[in-house]
Structure 1
Amino acid sequence: MESLLSNGIQISVFSRYQPAYSRPTEDQYVFSYHIVIKNCRQDTVQLLYRHWVITNALGEVQEVEGDGVIGQQPVLEPGDVHSYDSWCPLPSPLGSMEGRYLMVNTETGENFYAQVPRFQLESTVMMN
Structure 2
Amino acid sequence: MVTAITQGIKISVETMYQDEYSNPANEHFMFAYRITIENLSDYSIQLMRRQWFIFDSNGTEREVEGEGVVGLQPIMEPGGSHTYVSGCHLSTDMGAMSGNYLMHRMIDNTDFTVDIPEFNLIVPYRLN
- TM tier relative to shorter chain: over 0.9
Alignment partner, residue 42 of structure 1:
42
**Structure 2 unaligned residues grouped into runs of 5+:** none
Gaps of 5+ in 1: none
Cross-structure match for 1:94: 94
Would the aligned equivalents of 1:99 and 1:117 in 2 still touch at CA under 8 Å? yes
Task: Note if 1:65 corresponds to 2:65.
Answer: yes
Q: How many residues align?
A: 126
- Compared with structure 1, are the counterparts of its residues 10 and 36 closer, same or farther at alpha carbon in structure 2 (3 Å cutoff)? same
Structure 1 Cα separation of the partners of residues 124 and 27 of structure 2:
14
Question: RMSD in angstroms over aligned alpha carbons?
Answer: 0.7
Query: How far is 1:33 from its partner?
Result: 0.2
Letter in 2 for 1:22: S
Question: SS at 2:15's partner residue?
Answer: strand
- Name the amino acid aligned to 2:119: F
TM-score, with structure 1 as normaliser: 0.97
Provide the TM-score with structure 2 as the length reference: 0.97
1:107 positional shift: 1.0
- What does 1:1-128 align with in structure 2 at a 5 Å threshold? 1-126=1-126
What percent of counterpart residues are identical?
Answer: 39
